Amino acid sequence: MAEFVSTERDGMVAVVTIDHPPVNALSGPLLEELEAELVELDADEGVRAIVLKGAGERAFVAGADISEFPSLREAAPQQNGGSARGIQKLGARMDAAHTPFVAAIHGFCLGGGLELAMCCDIRVCSDDAQLGQPEIKLGLIPGGGGTQRLPRLVGLGRALLLNLTGDFVDAATAYEWRLVEKVVPREELLDTALGIARTIAARSPVSVAVLRELARTTRDLPLEEGLRREADGFRRCLESEDGAEGVAAFLEKREPEFTGR
């Protein structure tokens, strides 16, 4: 039975809650549990979008579980990065998934929590959120993607500002910097994230998967190669059953019924 992660269904949307009081810190067992849950949901054809959120009032996720660090230091030569590799491994699983992820961020979203949020496709945050990479204050650096994913979202200078100072940014700044896609009042956070997830879930799973693939595999490629892969993705969608259904539904002036094939 899961100890740190719970899932509820809202139609074709799965809402996954991280629950590790008081601030949902990412421990090794929690990361393993979360990875297993997300892999299982990604394999479920009845799930077409996943919302990721934190339990409680204080935080989405306020970082890694620092109480584990002394033992990780002892084992560091054998573990090659310890919990940092655990977050990276989870991020790689999310990158490779067919199912899109929407992060619903409230309160503190720090360190490993921000790295987890950056693994999601879309980030919605409440207006009281505080985001940052404070590892430098411990004499450490971000190890779960913060030196790599963050510059790709906000640019090198702003990423270095966060990573080198350890300072937090508020929700308005995070939106201005394109670290999050939407800011809403706290009471509207879950409904907004669910609304986005429901909209995506109603689209063709084939098209959604191809779009996610292109977003992750072409961003650092030359434009010509990116366009070639885009054309190939368009062809795959057009040749799919969903593509045929979408075109037929448009011509027949009805709503499409996508099956993911």
Our answer to whether residue 135 is catalytic in this structure is yes
Among the listed residues 33, 135, 224, 257, the single catalytic one is: 135
Give the C-alpha separation, 179 to 153, whole Å.
6
Q: Phi, psi (5° rounding) for residue 130? A: -130, 125
Domain CATH code at residue 98: 3.90.226.10
Identify the domain boundary among 160, 181, 201.
201
Among the listed residues 35, 37, 115, 245, the single catalytic one is: 115
Domain total of the chain: 2
In a domain, 261, yes or no: no
In a domain, 256, yes or no: no
Residue 43 in 3-state DSSP? Answer: coil
Residue 168 in 3-state DSSP? Answer: strand
Residues 26-37 have pLDDT tens digits of: 999 999 999 999
Q: Are residues 47 and 158 in the same domain?
A: yes
**Cis peptide preceding 22, ω within 30 of 0:** yes
Q: Are residues 142 and 230 in the same domain?
A: no
Q: Are residues 119 and 222 in the same domain?
A: no
Residues 55-105 have pLDDT tens digits of: 999 999 998 877 787 766 655 555 555 556 789 999 999 999 999 999 999
| pTM assigned to the model | 0.92
